[in-house]
C-alpha cells in the first residue's frame, strides 16, 4: 500500500466533514444505516491498522460466511461490496451495519428486525407499534433458508466446543513457549496458523450470535403469547444463574481471590499498597499463604489473562501483560467485610431462575410446559454460547498479540521500528514483507502517520447511529447535554430489581478504581474488563447496549438491576448523586446529591 506520509489536518468543522481517515470505508448505498452500539463495546475508540487488518477482516469474513451458508449471499448483494460492509469504518472507528443486519433478520426463520435492533444495538421497541411480519416473499425465502440452516444449527454446539479446545490449547501452549528462541520462519508460520484459527473463530462467533438472538426472541414471544406481565424482567429471571457464562467467570474468581486476601493478615498488608507495587511484594514473599496465593493468581492470569479493556486490539496490554487493574479490584473488594461470596451468589441466582420457571410453568398446560423447557434450553445455550464464542475470539486475538509483539521486538533490534508496540501501527502486508526480506524503508514514517491519524480521530465526536457518512464534530466543541425530562433517563431494562444508591460515574478503567461497595456503576459501556467491578456494585447503568450486550448478560448473571442504552448517563449523572435504578421498567431517576446514603434494595 502506497500513501503520502503527510496529512493535512482539518481545523474547521467544514474541513472535518471532507476529511477521510486512512482506514475509512465508503458508504454502502444499499445498506447505509450504521451504529456504534455493540461495536464500541467490543472495540471502543479509534483503532490501530494491524488490529483492523486482523480482526476487522476476520469478523467481516465471519459474517459473510454465515450469510453464504444460509443461502442469502445474493439476497444481501455481498458480491457488490468488495470492502468490509458489515463493519464499516468512519473516522477510524468501527461500526456495525444495522441495515444489513435487519435485512438478514427478515429471511432467517423466526428472525425479527426489531429484535435485532434492540438486543444487539439497543434501540427500544416502540410501544404500540405493530411488529414487523414476514410477507409471502419472505416466508418462501425462510423455508429455503431453514433447509440450509438446520444442519448448521445442529453442528454448532459441537463446533463451538471443538473450537474452544483448539483456541485454548493453542494459547496455553504458546504462553509456555520461549518465542525468542524461534527463528523467523517458525514465528511467521505460527502467526499464519493463528490468523487462520482467528477466521474460523469469528465464523463461529457470528453464527452463535445470529442464532442465539433468535432463541431469546422466541422465548420472549412465547411469554407474551401466554399473557405474562413484565416480560423483559421475566426473561432476565429465567436466564440468570447459568454458571457457564464465560465472561462472568473472571469476576467470580477475582472475588474468591479477594476473600483469600481479606482472611490473611500478611496478604492484607501487601494489598494495602498501590497496585503497581503489589506484584513485586507478592514475588518477594516466601510466606506460605502468599506463595499459595501467588500460584493461584498466576493460574488466573494464564486462564483469563487475555482479558482487558479493548481486548480485541493488538496494542492493548491485557491482564497477563499488565495485571495492575486486576490487583486493584482485588484490593478494593478485599477491604470489604461484607464482600459477597460468589458461589453463594450463584446458588441464589440459580434458585431465582428455578422459582421463575416454576411460576411460569404453573400457568401452562403440559404441551406448553414442554415448549417452555425447549425454549429455555435454546435461550440458555444461546446466551452462554455467545459469551463463550466472544471469549474464544479474545483468546485467539491474544495468541496473535503474543506473536506480533515478538515480531515487533525483532524489528526493533533490526532498526526498523523504535518500540515493540510500533508493530501495531503498520499494515499486516508490511509486517509479512519485513520478514520476507522486503521491508519498507519508511516503516517508521508509517508508524508516525498511523499514530497521528489515531490521535486526530480521538479528538472527533460522532453520533451513535446515522445513515450514510456521519456528521463529525470536535469533542472540544460539543454542546452541553440537555437535562433529562422530569429527571428520568429511560433505557432498556435488562436485569430486574430496584435500587436507590449513590452513583459512581466511571468513563475509563484505571488501576485503582474508586467504586465503593453498594454504589451504582454508571459507565459508557462494558467489556469483560469491567465486569469484575459488578461484585461491588448495587446496580449498573450504561449509555449503550442491549439485552445481548456483554454488560447486560453479566448483570443478569449476577442478579444486579441494570438499565442500558440510556444514552447520556455518564454526562448527566454526577459522582455521589443519589439515583434510583429500576431494572424492571428501564428507568433511572436522578435525585439529590448525597455523601452517605446507604444503598437500599
Q: What pLDDT score does 3 carry?
A: 44
| pTM of the model as a whole | 0.93
Q: What pLDDT score does 511 carry?
A: 57
Q: What pLDDT score does 584 carry?
A: 93
**pLDDT tier for residue 483 given thresholds of 50, 70 and 90:** confident
Q: What pLDDT score does 5 carry?
A: 55
CB neighbours (10 Å) of residue 127? 5
**pLDDT tier for residue 502 given thresholds of 50, 70 and 90:** very high
**pLDDT 10s digits, 421-446:** 999 999 999 999 999 999 999 999 99
Q: What pLDDT score does 124 carry?
A: 74
CA 514 from chain center: how many Å?
A: 22
Edge to edge, the sheet with strand 33-35 lists 96-97, 33-35, 465-467
Percent of the chain with pLDDT over 90: 75
Report strand pairing: 473-474 vs 492-495: unpaired
**pLDDT 10s digits, 179-232:** 999 999 999 999 999 999 999 999 999 999 888 778 888 999 999 999 999 898
Q: Name the 3-class secondary structure at 580.
A: strand
**pLDDT 10s digits, 269-315:** 999 999 889 999 999 999 999 999 999 999 999 999 999 988 999 99
Q: What pLDDT score does 598 carry?
A: 40
Q: What pLDDT score does 344 carry?
A: 93
Architecture of domain 485-593: 3-Layer(bba) Sandwich (3.50)
8 A C-beta contact, residue 246 and residue 353: no
**pLDDT 10s digits, 349-366:** 999 999 999 999 999 999
Q: What is the mean pLDDT of the chain?
A: 91
Percent of the chain with pLDDT over 70: 97
Q: Which of 525, 545, 554 is nearest to 586 (CA)?
A: 545
Higher-confidence residue: 4 or 55?
55
Mean per-residue pLDDT, 33-62:
90
Beta strands in 312-424 (DSSP E): none
Distances (CA, A) of 460 to 50, 525, 570: 21, 19, 18
What residue ranges do the domains of the chain occupy?
13-224+431-457, 485-593
pLDDT(86) > 80: yes
Amino acid at each position: 500500500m502506497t500513501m503520502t506520509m503527510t496529512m493535512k489536518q482539518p481545523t474547521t468543522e467544514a474541513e472535518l466533514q471532507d476529511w477521510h481517515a486512512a482506514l475509512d470505508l465508503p458508504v454502502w448505498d444499499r445498506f447505509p444505516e450504521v451504529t456504534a452500539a455493540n461495536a464500541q463495546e467490543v472495540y471502543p475508540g479509534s483503532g490501530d491498522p494491524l488490529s483492523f487488518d486482523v480482526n476487522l477482516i476476520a469478523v467481516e469474513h465471519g459474517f459473510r460466511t454465515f450469510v453464504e451458508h444460509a443461502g442469502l449471499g445474493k439476497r444481501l448483494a455481498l458480491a457488490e461490496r468488495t470492502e468490509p460492509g458489515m463493519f464499516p469504518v468512519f473516522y477510524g472507528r468501527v461500526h456495525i451495519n444495522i441495515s444489513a443486519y435487519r435485512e438478514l433478520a427478515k429471511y432467517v426463520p423466526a428472525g425479527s428486525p426489531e429484535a435485532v435492533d434492540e438486543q444487539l444495538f439497543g434501540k427500544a421497541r416502540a410501544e404500540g407499534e405493530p411488529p414487523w411480519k414476514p410477507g409471502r416473499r419472505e416466508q418462501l425465502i425462510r423455508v429455503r433458508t431453514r433447509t440450509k440452516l438446520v444442519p448448521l444449527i445442529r453442528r454448532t454446539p459441537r463446533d463451538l466446543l471443538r473450537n474452544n479446545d483448539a483456541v485454548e490449547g493453542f494459547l496455553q501452549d504458546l504462553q509456555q513457549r520461549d518465542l525468542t528462541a524461534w527463528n523467523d520462519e517458525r514465528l511467521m508460520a505460527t502467526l499464519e496458523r493463528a490468523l487462520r484459527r482467528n477466521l474460523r473463530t469469528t465464523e463461529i462467533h457470528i453464527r452463535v450470535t445470529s442464532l442465539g438472538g433468535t432463541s431469546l426472541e422466541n422465548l420472549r414471544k412465547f411469554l407474551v403469547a401466554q399473557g405474562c406481565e413484565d416480560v423483559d424482567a421475566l426473561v432476565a429471571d429465567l436466564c440468570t444463574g447459568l454458571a457457564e457464562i464465560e465472561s462472568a467467570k473472571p469476576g467470580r474468581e477475582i472475588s474468591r481471590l479477594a476473600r483469600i486476601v481479606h482472611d490473611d493478615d500478611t496478604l492484607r498488608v501487601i494489598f494495602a499498597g498501590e497496585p503497581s507495587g503489589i506484584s513485586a511484594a507478592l514475588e518477594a514473599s516466601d510466606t506460605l499463604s502468599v506463595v499459595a496465593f501467588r500460584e493461584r493468581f498466576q493460574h488466573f492470569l494464564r486462564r483469563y489473562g487475555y482479558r482487558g479493556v479493548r481486548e480485541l486490539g493488538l496494542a492493548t496490554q491485557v491482564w497477563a501483560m499488565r495485571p495492575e487493574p486486576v490487583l486493584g479490584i482485588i484490593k478494593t473488594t478485599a477491604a470489604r467485610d461484607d464482600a459477597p461470596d460468589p458461589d453463594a451468589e450463584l446458588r441464589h441466582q440459580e434458585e431465582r431462575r428455578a422459582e421463575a420457571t416454576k411460576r411460569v410453568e404453573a400457568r401452562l398446560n403440559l404441551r406448553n410446559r414442554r415448549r417452555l423447557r425447549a425454549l429455555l434450553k435454546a435461550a440458555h445455550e444461546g446466551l452462554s454460547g455467545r459469551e463463550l464464542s466472544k471469549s474464544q475470539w479474545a483468546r485467539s486475538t491474544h495468541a496473535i498479540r503474543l506473536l506480533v509483539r515478538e515480531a515487533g521486538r525483532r524489528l526493533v533490534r533490526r532498526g526498523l521500528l523504535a518500540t515493540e508496540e510500533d508493530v501495531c501501527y503498520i499494515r499486516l502486508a508490511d509486517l509479512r514483507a519485513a520478514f520476507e526480506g522486503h521491508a519498507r524503508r519508511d516503516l517508521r514514517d508509517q508508524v508516525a502517520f498511523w499514530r497521528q491519524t489515531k490521535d486526530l480521530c480521538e479528538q472527533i465526536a460522532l453520533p451513535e447511529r446515522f445513515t450514510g457518512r456521519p456528521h463529525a464534530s470536535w469533542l472540544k466543541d460539543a454542546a452541553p447535554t440537555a437535562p433529562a425530562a422530569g429527571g428520568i433517563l429511560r433505557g432498556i431494562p435488562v436485569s430486574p430489581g430496584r435500587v436507590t444508591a449513590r452513583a459512581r460515574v466511571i468513563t475509563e478503567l484505571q488501576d485503582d478504581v474508586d467504586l465503593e461497595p453498594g454504589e451504582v456503576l454508571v459507565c459508557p459501556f462494558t467489556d469483560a474488563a469491567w465486569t469484575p467491578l459488578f461484585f461491588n456494585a448495587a446496580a449498573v447503568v450504561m449509555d449503550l447496549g442491549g439485552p445481548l450486550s456483554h454488560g447486560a448478560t453479566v448483570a443478569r448473571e449476577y442478579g444486579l438491576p441494570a438499565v442500558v442504552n440510556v444514552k447520556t448517563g455518564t454526562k448527566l449523572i454526577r459522582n455521589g448523586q443519589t439515583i434510583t435504578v429500576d431494572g424492571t421498567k428501564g428507568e433511572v431517576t436522578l435525585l439529590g446529591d448525597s455523601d452517605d446514603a446507604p444503598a437500599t434494595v
